[in-house]
Amino acid sequence: MLNIALPKGRLGDKVASLLCDAGYDCPTLASGDRRLTVDDVEHGVRYIWVKPSDVAIYVERGAADAGVVGKDTLLEQSPDVYELCDLGIGKCRMAVAAPVGFYDDGARRLRVATKYPNIARGYYMKKGRDIDIIKLSGSIETAPVIGMSDVIVDIVETGQTLKENNLAVTDTVVEISARLVANKSSCKFARGEIMKIADAVGKKSDLR
């Protein structure tokens, strides 16, 4: 059995549809199925549903041979895995946003609220801007609204959350989408099986 770690939630539903379209039997958690491991015996695949930010850890440690993870998580965690292909789903962008009308005069350290401290640090380091990172786990948009931060670095998909909180994008850091990743040893020992899935769901990048 090839173990594949999949992200629970919004992205997971899209991944399950993609796999089903490619002929793989992958029931979604959204359909009411609460099993966290599901076997597709016909294709020799076991799906493991995990928290999106944990997928890369499962794959890096070999608990999963492959997995689907957002580029945001890959950039933030830099896991030691192969990134096989872009799945073209879960498209959004990592952006800097601030209260409408905010102007950074550079007079003091910029307070940046984010779930992605490494990405934010890298972005501002390139700009040579001194920042104070405020690491949060969610509801990032609240920070500038209540005055805890000046800006945020966060995922923007439709832009609705920003709009409803009177915030606006000031810069795009990087475009994001879901990627198929694989464990490095598994790519040696189960290359054929992994490539079959990569062929079915996306375009390969660094295995060829």
Q: Which stretch binds ligand PRP (CB under 6 A): 16-24, 27-35, 139-147, 166-174?
A: 139-147
Whether the Cβ atoms of residue 5 and residue 50 lie closer than 8 Å to each other = yes
Residue 155 makes contact with ligand PRP by CB under 6 A: yes
Closest CA to 101 of 159, 155, 168, 163: 168
Q: CA of 120: how far to CAs of 6, 19, 96, 133, 149, in Å?
A: 26, 33, 9, 8, 13
Q: CA of 190: how far to CAs of 3, 5, 121, 136, in Å?
A: 11, 16, 37, 38
- Which H/E stretch holds residue 150? none
Q: Which stretch binds ligand PRP (CB under 6 A): 125-133, 151-159, 182-190, 197-205?
A: 151-159
- The Cα–Cα gap between 128 and 29 comes to 44
Q: Which stretch binds ligand PRP (CB under 6 A): 125-133, 135-143, 182-190, 198-206?
A: 135-143
The correct pick among 140, 187, 194, 198 for binding ligand PRP (CB under 6 A) is: 140
Residue 146 makes contact with ligand PRP by CB under 6 A: no
Find the distance separating the first CA and the last CA of the chain, reported in whole Å. 24
In sequence order, the 6+-apart residues with CB closer than 8 A to the CB of 191 are: 207
Q: Which stretch binds ligand PRP (CB under 6 A): 68-76, 83-91, 94-102, 156-164?
A: 156-164
Q: Looking only at residues 159 through 188 of this chain, which bind ligand PRP when binding is defined by CB under 6 A? A: 159-161
156 or 194: CB nearest ligand PRP: 156
Residue 139 makes contact with ligand PRP by CB under 6 A: yes
Binding mask 35-74 for ligand PRP (x = CB under 6 A): ----------------------------------------
